[in-house]
Amino acid sequence: MRANLQRFARISLPFAEIGVPLQRMHYADIILPLPLDGLFTYAIPAMLAGRVQMGVRVVVPFGRSKTYVGIVARLHDAKPEGFAVKGISDVMDDAPIVTAQQLRLWQWIADYYMSPIGEVYKAALPSGLKAEDGYRPKTDTYVRLSAPYRSEQSLHVALNILHRARQQLLLFNEYLALSGADEGAGIARREISRDELLNSSHATAATLQLLIKRGMLETYEVEVGRLNNGGEPHLERIKPLSAVQQEAYNGILFSFLKKDVTLLHGVTGSGKTELYIHLIQRALQQKQQVLYLLPEIALTVQIMQRLQNIFGNRLGIYHSKYSDAERVEIWQKQLSANPYDIILGARSAVLLPFQRLGLIIVDEEHETSYKQQDPAPRYHARSAAIMLGALSRPAKEEESSRPSGLASSSPLGKSGGVSVLLGSATPSIESYHNAQTGKYGYVALTQRYQGVELPEIQVVDTKDLQHRKLMTGPFSPTLLLRVREALERGEQALLFQNRRGFAPMIECRQCGWVPTCQHCDVSLTLHRQMNQLTCHYCGYTYQIPTACPCCGSKDLRPQGYGTEKIEDDIRQLFPEAHVARMDLDTTRSRNAYERLIGDFAAGRTDILIGTQMISKGLDFERVSVVGILNADSMLSYPDFRAYEHAFMMMAQVSGRAGRRGKRGLVVLQTKQPDLPVIGQVVRNDYDAFYRHLIAERQQFHYPPYYRLVYVFLKHAKDGLVETASIELASRLRQWFGNRVLGPDRPSVAKVKSLSIRKMVIKLEMGIDHRRVRQYLQAARQQLLADKRYASLQVYYDVDPL
């Protein structure tokens, strides 16, 4: 009989209780990596009693034949009634690998985002820590003298034996010289790796193997780790702040005295990173750790170089492009006696263990990349970082700094502990609202570094130019002229097109047929370099058809422009220029970011074409021209956040122009130049943009005045998911009334062969989040109890983006 499944009470044990011996407990509640609510209770065998503690991994049986690696979340003496409780099979750790602070954060994520805590466990831990034998330390092969030859006399014997084997003699002498054994009478003064010996002696592996067979040398393995443990680099001094930056720095420190969370609203190019560096230095002087979050891996490359030049090996990097084994070693280092003082990483870094966290920086806090989409848990790293800061303070302070969500919205003062700094040139509406209403502190940095002006933005009406047949593909004459002038001056250009691939679709010119994915409700994107059609939702690929299956016509043409097509056209228009492209297709390998950004920063690339990756905080001193090729594609998206995202993306990509002593130029191409949001981007008028948008949000019950929960249902049979969605909506309306909208078909109504229905629940601030969660979980359980819906997927997306 399987272990008892019970609801998981909030874990509120202080950090100090992890690892402290407790009185004999007979039962442990275990987190398992399964999409099931609650914990599983297991008995603690007497022989393991001294080793089972909160935060350690244990091996437990599950079901008839399976075993899982779980995390001990709670110890107690409450014996489950009514069935036999299975026992823990083994304990994998001598010390906890998950801290009490982490367990509390996991529970908050599970509660707030309505996700099983097992899903949070799966997202948090590297795979190598979730399996009994999943992680293997990296080792290098080293060489040493065999025991019979570790004396001066035996070395002379060996040399005499080898006098006729010239290659073996040379290799043996090289080992003696490198190791110092020739001067130490057979005692090596330093260890020599196999690779070092072979490289230094120019010998072959076969020659070394002969010496091993003779019994003169032997090999052994040494654990070396995968992290960069090179020597400390030459460190740079921290640059002094300008008068304007110093004023902002002082404002942040003063805000930290009163508020747990502070929003730094600094225009692009104002030197926010320099402020961060000074704040990090201050935290390190106080013996505190720092978590520095960035929304994209591409950003970590450039910022990493700046931080390493100042802080050296005190900096650790953590993101998904690292191998699982490397992430395991970073996790273990953070639990060691010598953890990294600074962690720089993307979204998942917020789930790492910290021992003395004092400062959290969430840079580009407005970015949607901080929100996890699929799989669960669908958490927002900004909100999780704010909660991590709260959970790292005394318990009475936690409530004051919860994210502005369903749980609480009351601002209280700060009395010390972890400070959270949110930074952006274009803050999210929610964060700016929290700052304006006093929940967060607020500091503005309104001038660019060294007084450089914000870029001039020229709006080009492409509708008029197309009517007059003056466009060259997607390029206006103004844009082409400005790019050419920049190249002639030895400067660089960025071209922004937020759609990858060669073309969004191909179309039959005879009958209008467009190839679509057989698994998803979307057209297929043409990737010419890979010579295939690809579905960007499920990843399935198709051969490019040679003729239309409907009418037989062979006149199939690409429609629209992706970054790949832009790159081809730019190479033809500027054959003398070095052109590169930065999008998901060109950055799949771990080192691709570093190569692309490094080449552009060094001036080896003249024109960089990219998607939203190039808009996020990158700093290139030679960029004088930025082209936004199609602003309308961002503005026409069917979502209440479309204008917010469009404004932020256009303002951010515009900010890449003119960073060093000279004003830059942005050419913004649109068919709707009279839209208010276009004028707000041109004037960099965030306040006008905010005032216009916040009034609409309040009128139509959207964040930050209301909280949203999206309800998704998925099933292979469209009729079944339609029936289930109607039934679920009826149940939800019994509790939430007209707060429930839908069900409806989303714009993409089938993905990976699953039909989809969607509902929206709008919840006013102050509503009891725990009751909301109980009602939603009950509604889902009631629906899934029906045998017809056994394979139905139902999940909730809280605070969707």
Q: Please provide the DSSP assignment of 244-292 as one string.
A: HHHHHHHHHHHHHHH-SEEEEEE-TTS-HHHHHHHHHHHHHHTT-EEEE
Supply 543's token pair. 């051969």
CA distances from 611 to 427, 440, 511, 562, 629 (A): 20, 32, 32, 9, 11
3-state secondary structure of 435: helix
What is residue 132's predicted lDDT score, i.e. its pLDDT?
A: 66
What is residue 493's predicted lDDT score, i.e. its pLDDT?
A: 95
Q: Give me the count of residues in the chain.
A: 801
Q: Please provide the DSSP assignment of 52-96 as one string.
A: --TT-EEEEEETTTEEEEEEEEEEE-----SSPPPBP-EE--SS-
Residue carrying the six token digits 């005045």: 705
Separation of alpha carbons 441 and 435, rounded Å: 6
CA angle, residues 771, 766, 379, in degrees to nearest 5: 70
Q: At residue 190, what is the residue type? A: R
Helices 592-601 and 297-311: crossing angle in degrees, nearest 10, is 70
Residues with Cβ within 8 Å of 115's Cβ and at least 6 positions away in sequence, in order, are: 109, 376, 377, 378, 379
Pairing, β 261-266 against β 419-424: parallel
Q: Kindly report the pTM of this predicted structure.
A: 0.84
Supply 82's token pair. 């009514």
Among residues 179, 194, 268, 660, which one has the least CA distance to residue 446? 268
Q: What is the 3-state secondary structure (H, E, C) of 534-594?
A: ECCCCCCEECCCCCCCCCCCCCEEEECCCHHHHHHHHHHHCCCCCEEEECHHHCCCCCHHH
Separation of alpha carbons 542 and 554, rounded Å: 17
Asked whether 632 and 594 are in contact (CB, 8 A), the reply is no
Residue carrying the six token digits 């409907």: 550
Residues with Cβ within 8 Å of 589's Cβ and at least 6 positions away in sequence, in order, are: none
Separation of alpha carbons 148 and 217, rounded Å: 10
Separation of alpha carbons 490 and 679, rounded Å: 31
Separation of alpha carbons 571 and 719, rounded Å: 50
Separation of alpha carbons 748 and 755, rounded Å: 9
The parts of the chain modelled with pLDDT lower than 70 are 1-24, 132, 134-135, 183-186, 224-234, 298-299, 393-416, 590, 616-617, 659-661
Residue 661 is classified by DSSP as: S
Residue 371 is classified by DSSP as: B
Helices 166-179 and 194-201: crossing angle in degrees, nearest 10, is 120
Determine the number of helices (DSSP H) and then strands (DSSP E) in the chain. Answer: 22, 32
